[in-house]
Structure 1
Amino acid sequence: MIVCVCNAICEDRLRGAARAGAPCPRSAYANLGCEPQCGSCLPYAAEIIDEERASLLSVDAQAA
């Protein structure tokens, strides 16, 4: 699924940036070599990043 039409960023790439440590959409986009253009994707991108980071924290907690 496309998250950002302006930069053609799909959900999988955004989740990968979150797993690589990006805490917010702007840093995730920078990790992907671009920056937000119109900004309409930022709320949805933030939800995806939050989900991915919560998932990682859950995995870390189970491993401990």
Structure 2
Amino acid sequence: MSAIKEAMTALKEVLLLADRVERVGSTLSEMTKELRDHDRRIIRLETFVEVGKMGRPSKH
């Protein structure tokens, strides 16, 4: 009987672990989307800075 109990406990742990892995994967996917959004925003800001530098007269 204890072998069956141990097997059931192990199976329960595997199912819990699978659920955790799925949640972590989902969280990672959301973080990836946010990172891409931040990257796009940074690129836009860098573009504004570069355009601003080109529009200024030289100090020579």
> When you count helix as a share of all residues, which structure comes out higher?
2
Tell me the TM-score normalized by structure 2: 0.41
Which entry has the higher C-alpha Rg, 1 or 2?
2
